[in-house]
Structure 1
Amino acid sequence: MTARCVPPAERAAIEELNARFAWALDLGEFDNLRQVFTSEARYVSGERIYAGVDAIVSRFTARTGPRTTRHGWSSLTLQATGDKIYGLSSWYTFAANQDAPISGTGVYLVADFVDIYVSIADVGWRIAERTIHPVFKDERLAPT
């Protein structure tokens, strides 16, 4: 199958999708992840694999205690093949297990994200698979 360039409108839609993912986590609005992932999505983080959007949402709602995060990403590359777009990006997470405002918070994680995006009729772009490959990690800032 031949790869094609990703048109600017599709790239913008995927960047918006990634922003909605980050804000859902950062604001603790985990149900909003249902508008980010497909219903059968796979989310792989280290050794943990979550299958289906319900499992993905439950992964985040199961956390206890205060948690403040801010996620960001850069270096998004996209390649389209058939009806899918494959993405690679570098993400970082500032985190603390306390409520904001926080003084002196460090970077919890820098990771490479490998994604598969699909377009769903009358819905738009969604993440069908997201695999997180940690590069740098400070376990002291891990969620409780």
Structure 2
Amino acid sequence: MAIFTNGGDRKPLMREILGRVVESPAEPVPDHAARPDAGRAASVYLSSTSETTVSGDERGRLWLEQVPLGLAVDAGDEPYRTELLGWRGSSYLPAEPGPGPVAFLGDDGEGRALYLHTGRADVRAAGRIAEASA
């Protein structure tokens, strides 16, 4: 199995190494009864390595579209789009393989999340709310 460490999906490397040392926990499973809260999550979130747009659609689904920036582009990361499925409270699972769970943290005083946590905390871009689309 070829393993690459400078970009892309890092989960196969983690599973390969940890699987030789410890028993890996089961992959998380979506809770289909948990409905995504687009009003809390929909926005654009920024970090030095990505711009992520989270938006809801007319069917109540929640979508994440992530575009790599800076060092992430240099490392070979690709744009990524997936539906987010309910899991635990304000944490969601991507429907497509790729990054693990994401969480919407904090409160801006109006019920909207301040941060999108994807392994790093991306901050809500001031004044940029994602329109309902998908």
Would you tell me which structure has more helix in proportion to its own residues? 1
Would you tell me which structure has more strand in proportion to its own residues? 1
TM-score by length of 2: 0.31
TM-score by length of 1: 0.29
